[in-house]
Amino acid sequence: MSQSLSGSDLTSRALLPQGLRDVLPPDGDHENRVVESLMACFAAYGYERVKPPLVEFEQSLLGNVSASVANRTFRMMDPISQRMMALRPDMTLQIARIATTRLRQAPRPVRLSYAGEVMRVMGSQLSPEREFTQVGFELIGMETPESDAEVILIAAEAARRVGVKGLSIDLMTPTLVPTLLAAHGIEGAEAQAFRAALDGKDAGAIAKLGQPAPLVGKLLAASGPIAPGLAALETIELPAEARAQVDALTAVARLVQAADPQVTLTLDPVENRGFAYHTGVSFSLFVRGVRGELGRGGRYRAGEAGEAATGLTLYMDTVIRALPVPVAGRKVFLPRGLSLETGKRLRDQGWVTVAGLADVADAAAEARRFGCTHLAGADGNPESIERAA
């Protein structure tokens, strides 16, 4: 004989680990619709969907990643092979593996898209979630300003398509400051002091450091709206390699502005937090008033051969927070006794149908109980709940 659960038992069974949550109706349906709209946008630009596994061998997944990525990864022992396995912390790693192994003979650039869950040991201060849906696309096998611009432009269009308002795209080159410091022989504790001051956007602390503090300070001062920022970068005298990176950033920004003047671009040439494996022009997506990044992307090296690649990853928990509250769709209650053909006809017309499975005294009240907007009459035609009442 089954036993009923007490209130404390129910509470205990509903408790989830920190950073994890159940996505309940109607939020689950809403997120799924947004994901499919994003994927349709990527597909329209020739990005083909792939579906990698949730778990891989640790060596395959994490063989070439930075310590910061590896430290965010859950690991387990595979009872069959007795090898260590890892839960993916980022789907970009898997797309790079697929492109450079399974699709190594495919014409370049190869364009791939993806959507799926990722899991991390811990979240960040801005994004405490440990499990969330990633949606994105990667362009692998091309290293030109046009390829970088394509990714940024698609990111902006996809965000607009799903209803994001007030999008801002922050451009950066994560390798710029390390390149500048290396050119002046700055390393170790000195380099860490520069990095700490830059992470805090502390111009005063930078000014107290040695060479190349004046140049680093000018780079920091260039942060902000894209037009004055790029103009300021043009006036800074930089070593050749650093200048080449700034020129690449400028070229990408110009291409994006020319193709889509509606895109709001900002500049942060000294930022590199969270861009551990990026090697060139990169970007983050923000919406004013929304906690955390909607996504990020940029240039990196894929696979063991270091093939040129760039792409975008969107974090669906943040994207959903940036969207308006979804409007309830048309849902009609079908009292018991209506024909199966009636339900089929309404579904073919775009209605969501909820069938009554028992006789009730008040069909309108029953329809409200299930969140329906309409009630089907004896003739099978929907009538608004207010009128039916």
Interval 149-200: pLDDT, tens? 999 999 999 999 999 999 999 999 999 999 999 999 998 999 999 989 998 8
Cβ–Cβ under 8 Å, residues 134 and 316: yes
For residue 324, pLDDT over 60 is answered with yes
What percentage of residues in the chain have a pLDDT greater than 90?
Answer: 71
Sign of CA dihedral 88, 90, 96, 98: positive
* Residue 112: per-residue pLDDT: 98
**334-359 pLDDT, tens digit each:** 999 999 999 999 999 999 999 999 99
pTM above 0.85, yes or no: yes
Mean pLDDT of the chain: 91
For residues 174 and 152, give the distance between their C-alpha atoms in angstroms, rounded to a whole number: 16
Copy the structure tokens of residue 381.
């035609």
Copy the structure tokens of residue 323.
């969207």
For residues 93 and 311, give the distance between their C-alpha atoms in angstroms, rounded to a whole number: 11
Copy the structure tokens of residue 164.
């994001």
Q: For residue 130, name the pLDDT band (cuts at 50, 70, 90).
A: confident
For residue 70, count CB atoms less than 10 angstroms from its CB and return exposed for 0-12, middle for 13-18, buried for 19 or more.
middle
For residues 385 and 368, give the distance between their C-alpha atoms in angstroms, rounded to a whole number: 8
Residue 6: beta bridge partners?
Answer: none
Per-residue pLDDT, averaged over 40-45, amounts to 98
* 327 vs 317: which has the higher pLDDT: 317
* Residue 6: per-residue pLDDT: 64
**Taking the mean position of all CA atoms in its chain, how far away is CA 11?**
32
Q: For residue 3, name the pLDDT band (cuts at 50, 70, 90).
A: low
Residue 139: beta bridge partners?
Answer: 111, 310
* Residue 4: per-residue pLDDT: 62
* Residue 125: per-residue pLDDT: 63
Cβ–Cβ under 8 Å, residues 320 and 159: no
Q: For residue 72, name the pLDDT band (cuts at 50, 70, 90).
A: confident
Provide CB contacts within 8 A for 126, sequence distance 6+: 291, 292, 293
For residues 43 and 45, give the distance between their C-alpha atoms in angstroms, rounded to a whole number: 5
Kind and range of the H or E element at 205?
A: helix 203-207
* 11 vs 242: which has the higher pLDDT: 242
Residue 265 has what DSSP assignment? E
Cβ–Cβ under 8 Å, residues 84 and 58: yes
For residues 84 and 86, give the distance between their C-alpha atoms in angstroms, rounded to a whole number: 7
**Site of tokens 């700034």:** 246
Cβ–Cβ under 8 Å, residues 50 and 91: no
* 240 vs 18: which has the higher pLDDT: 240
* Residue 128: per-residue pLDDT: 77
* Residue 143: per-residue pLDDT: 95
Q: For residue 1, name the pLDDT band (cuts at 50, 70, 90).
A: very low
List Cα–Cα distances, 86 to 96, 128, 314, in angstroms: 16, 20, 22
**368-387 pLDDT, tens digit each:** 999 999 999 999 999 998 76
